[in-house]
């Protein structure tokens, strides 16, 4: 990603209270993400702040420089529940190499442990295998790293996720995490209608996840909030114009795919999961199983 501007900001809190999700708190060291995934739901948060959901989201990154001092103070109060790191930005995008906010957060969680999940597309996470191992011991195994791998198709990856490491490199990182004894799963999310939702594509991800040692396979169909629909449709018009009529019909009534589409997708994923022995995991913090599954936080 060229011409990225980083701006240091001070925020009022580190932990964000979350309700109605399979976790209770979220933590995001940055605002915006250089990975530039065209489907990213977090772009909608930019839109709600009257900010650019496109190039601005990709290239104007806010660094929360007081995150660690706030997090220490908040963790001292022993918040109850589970924490998700990386719900609105990738915690391991390249600037982490300089600021080490994610690493610092993990160090603090070793001191003040709580069940933790991390979502990333970055291979940088292997740098922190040592502290992840410590945290895993402190939370009695209630730590999981979710490596996002929506596709193994080279062309789709280059078009849809232009600033990310190649998916096969992500899987190599996952293998390293597993070899270190860390619980690591694959998120095949979001599933893009007409692009990555055929059973062959899903099977390729599942097979690669299994070969890398992934402990689970999660998924979530593409959600298009009103704030990002035009942006995503512009992407489709450039890269997959033949799909425009289908998407216009699919998302005509809202942000979600139809119940029928989701049932069909669930059927495909069930068949794929069964081929590779992915079973439901019991230790994930979640409330409603179906909701957690569609968030990509369960198998």
Give domain limits for the chain: 9-294
And the tokens for 137?
């011991």
Task: Give the span between the Cα atoms of 251 and 223, in whole angstroms.
Answer: 9
pLDDT of residue 21: 87
pLDDT along the chain (299 residues), means of 10: 88 95 95 97 92 95 98 97 96 97 98 97 98 97 97 98 97 98 96 97 98 95 96 98 97 94 95 88 38 35
Query: What is the value of pTM for the model shown?
Result: 0.92
Which pLDDT belongs to residue 284? 41
Which residue is listed with tokens 């270190």?
180
**Does residue 147 sit in helix, strand or coil?**
strand
pLDDT in the model for residue 282: 39
Among left, alpha and beta (phi > 0; psi -120 to 50; other), residue 81 is: left
Is CATH 3.80.30.30 the right assignment for the domain spanning 9-294?
yes
- Across the chain, how many H-helices and E-strands are there? 13, 10
Task: Report the alpha-carbon angle 124-155-187, nearest 5.
Answer: 45
Note the pLDDT of residue 283.
39
Provide the phi-psi class of 86: left if phi over 0, else alpha when psi is between -120 and 50, else beta.
Answer: left
């Amino acid at each position: 990603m060229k011409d990225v501007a980083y701006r240091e900001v001070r925020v009022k809190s580190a932990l964000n209270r979350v309700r109605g999700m399979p976790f209770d708190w979220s933590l995001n060291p940055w605002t915006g993400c250089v990975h530039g995934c065209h489907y990213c739901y977090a772009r909608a948060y930019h839109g709600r702040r009257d900010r650019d959901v496109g190039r601005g989201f990709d290239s104007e990154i806010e660094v929360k420089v007081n995150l660690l001092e706030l997090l220490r103070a908040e963790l001292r109060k022993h918040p109850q529940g589970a924490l998700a790191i990386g719900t609105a930005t990738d915690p391991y995008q390249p600037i982490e190499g300089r600021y080490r906010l994610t690493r610092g957060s993990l160090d603090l969680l070793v001191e003040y442990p709580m069940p933790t999940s991390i979502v990333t597309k970055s291979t940088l996470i292997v740098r922190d295998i040592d502290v992840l191992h410590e945290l895993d011991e402190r939370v009695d195994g209630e730590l999981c790293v979710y490596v996002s791998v929506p596709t193994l198709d080279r062309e789709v990856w280059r078009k849809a996720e232009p600033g990310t490491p190649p998916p096969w490199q992500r899987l190599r990182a996952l293998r390293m995490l597993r070899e270190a004894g860390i619980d690591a799963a694959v998120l095949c999310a979001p599933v893009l209608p007409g692009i990555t939702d055929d059973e062959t594509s899903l099977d390729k991800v599942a097979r690669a996840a299994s070969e890398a040692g992934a402990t689970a396979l999660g998924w979530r169909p593409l959600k298009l909030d009103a704030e990002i629909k035009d942006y995503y449709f512009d992407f489709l018009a450039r890269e997959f114009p033949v799909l425009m009529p289908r998407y216009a019909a699919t998302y005509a009534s809202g942000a979600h795919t139809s119940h029928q589409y989701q049932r069909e997708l669930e059927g495909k994923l069930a068949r794929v999961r069964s081929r590779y022995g992915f079973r439901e995991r019991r230790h994930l913090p979640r409330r409603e199983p179906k909701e957690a599954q569609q968030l990509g936080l369960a198998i």
